[in-house]
Structure formats: structure tokens, C-alpha cells
Amino acid sequence: MTATIKDVAKKTGVSTATVSRALNNEYGVKPETREKVLAVARDFGYTPNAVARGLVKSQTQSIGLIIPDISNPFYPEIVKGVEAGAEENGYNIFLCNTNYKKDKQYQYMRLLEEKRVDGIILAPGSEEPTMHGDRPVGAIPVVYLCKRLTAPDKSLVVIDDERGGFLATKHLIEQGYQSIGFIGAHEDGSSGGERFRGYQQAFEKYGIPIEERFIFSGDFKRETGYRVIRRIIKSGDCPRAIFVENDLMALGVIQGIKEMGLGVPGDVAVVGFDDIPFAAFPEIGLSTVNQPKYKMGRIAVDMLLENINHKMAEPKKIILEPELVVRTSSC
């Protein structure tokens, strides 16, 4: 007969609630009580869920996936890739959405640690992450997505953002545009910063001076692109083309241009970055830099499982090549 939580409680002389907290590594249980419960659970072979099975196997067959914005169509494609790879290998996924909030990212990292996941795939929405506060990630294998990190001891899967920014700007220059703006984050250490460097390199290659007044800050949200382009057009000093850091913001830019009575690309050409599904809609026709989103998710989960199973000798850094997809918004 299979042991129950009541059997473990009776044997250890504590309540079923205490047994549950001990098995799930929750707070409020004395260390000696926890060890006693775990020992009895092992002896009984008690396995009510993945966490309890992990007591015997040292694995829960679960991984965490943390992304910054589930509403951005870029990320569901990555989730599908991770999910497919995890399912093929018998793993479950805990999906966490941070809304680009650093504190929420820390909270999820700690929660996943407490849930004893075997590993974590993290697409950081903030600066180089830590497990919680100043305590670094270490005990749990982690693979990072979509953000190049400075630390050499971290495994990651990224696109070559700098190359992608170069391809997007080069395309606009070759279409005859010289007055080319940029909307996005352009600080060092961000994917936007990498794309901005590619933007700069294209100008250098063709010997065209960058017009600093056409460089605008922005995040990854559609509303930001919409707001920024309307402000630019109202100023009466608008570039003839714009490279936008990501597609979601580029959709806002196109919406703003059209609502202001102008045409795309007739008045302002637009190129984005990501190649989300909406970009291919005929009424949008957004030229963009493709990231192989599903493939990135598959690679990330394969790397994580390799790490979990101690087959990875040292951290890996996979940098994928971007591809320019030309549609009607730029030519």
C-alpha cells in the first residue's frame, strides 16, 4: 500500500501541515524536524508530487522559465521552443512573467529555488541578474536568453544584436535614406545598446554622419513607439527613415505615423527587430530583423538539461546569426 502524508506525520509525531511544509522546503519548520520528516519520507518512498519524488531522485523533473513580458509576441515563440524540448525529455515548466520588474525577477528566482526546480532559463528584464539581492546564482543551473552578459561563467543563447542593427541600418542606407533615426535603449550592456552599435557601424561604413537629434530613447513597448513618433512628427523635424529597437515598438511607430496623416514608407520608412507574427500581416508589412525564437528556446532547454545532467564541461555561449526580412515598410 502506498504511504500517505498521514503515515509520515504519524511516524514523525508532527502534523500533516508540518510534513507538507517540510517536504516543500517552506519556512516555519525547524531544521531538525525537517530532516526527520525527509528521512521518514525517504524510508516510506512517499511521493505525493514532483518535489517529494526529488527527495529520492535529487531531481524534480521541473525547470523554471522567466521572461520579462508575456504580452510581447516575441516571447511566446520562445516559450513554445522551451516547452517542446522540456516535454520531450519528461520535464515540466514553471512559467514566470516579470513585467520588466527587477524585484519580481528576484522573487521568481527565489521561488523557483524553493520549489527545487532542476534548472532555470532566464530572459533578464533588468541588469545582470542575481538569485536574490546580492546572493549570486550558483546552486541551480541557469541558462540565459536574449541578453549578452559580461560574466564569462554563464551559459547563454543570444542573437548577434550588433550584426542585426547593422543589417537593418545598412538596408535603409542602400534604399537611399541618409536621414535615419533610432528609437530604443542605447546604453551599454543592453540588447538595444548592441543594436545601436550596429546602427553606428553602418553609418561609419558608408561615411555618413549620424544626426544626433534623431536618436530617441525608448523601451520595448508599443505605446512608447507611438508616443515618441507623434512627438517627433509634431516637432516638424522628422527623419526619413527609422530603425526601431524591436517590432512591438515599431508597430506603435507605424500606427503613429499613419494617424498623423503620413505614409509608410512614402513619408517615413520603418525597420524593426524580432520578426514577430504581426510583422508579416499585409496591412503592416514590417521590414525587420528575424530572431529564430523557437530555435532559441530549444537550444536553451537542451543546454540546461546538459548542465543539469553534469555533461557540460564549461559554460557555453551560443550566438545566432540574424536575418534581415524586407517587406513594404522600408521600400
> Which comes out higher in pLDDT, residue 326 or 39?
326
Q: Which CATH superfamily is domain 62-160+293-322 in?
A: Response regulator (3.40.50.2300)
- Decide whether 5-54 matches 161-292 in CATH topology: no
Q: Please give the mean pLDDT across all residues of the chain.
A: 89
Asked if residue 134 has pLDDT above 50, the reply is no
CATH of 161-292, one of 3.40.50.300, 1.10.600.10, 3.30.530.20, 3.40.50.2300: 3.40.50.2300
> Which comes out higher in pLDDT, residue 250 or 132?
250
- Per-residue confidence (pLDDT) for residue 83, from 0 to 100: 95
pLDDT band at 286; cut points 50, 70, 90: very high
- Per-residue confidence (pLDDT) for residue 129, from 0 to 100: 55
Asked if residue 130 has pLDDT above 60, the reply is no
- Per-residue confidence (pLDDT) for residue 27, from 0 to 100: 67
> Which comes out higher in pLDDT, residue 218 or 57?
218
DSSP secondary structure, 111-162, as one string: HHHHTT-SEEEE--SSSS--SBTTB---SS-EEEESS--S-TT-EEEEE-HH
* Mean pLDDT computed over 233-246: 97
CA 232 to CA 218: how far, in whole Å? 13
Phi and psi of 66, rounded to 5°? -110, 125
Q: How many CA atoms lie within 13 A of 62 on its CB side?
A: 17
CA 257 to CA 151: how far, in whole Å? 41
- Per-residue confidence (pLDDT) for residue 315, from 0 to 100: 87
* Mean pLDDT computed over 203-207: 97
CA 280 to CA 270: how far, in whole Å? 14
CA 287 to CA 21: how far, in whole Å? 53
User: Which tens digit of pLDDT belongs to each residue from 310-319?
Assistant: 877 788 999 9
Asked if residue 229 has pLDDT above 80, the reply is yes
User: Which tens digit of pLDDT belongs to each residue from 155-171?
Assistant: 999 999 999 999 999 99
In words, the CATH class of domain 5-54 is mainly alpha
Q: Where are the alpha helices (DSSP H) in 61-101?
A: 74-88
pTM: predicted TM-score of the whole model, two decimal places: 0.79
Asked if residue 10 has pLDDT above 60, the reply is yes
- Per-residue confidence (pLDDT) for residue 177, from 0 to 100: 96
> Which comes out higher in pLDDT, residue 292 or 139?
292
**Domain limits, the chain:** 5-54, 62-160+293-322, 161-292
User: Which tens digit of pLDDT belongs to each residue from 172-195?
Assistant: 999 999 999 999 987 776 788 999
Strands 155-159 and 180-183: unpaired
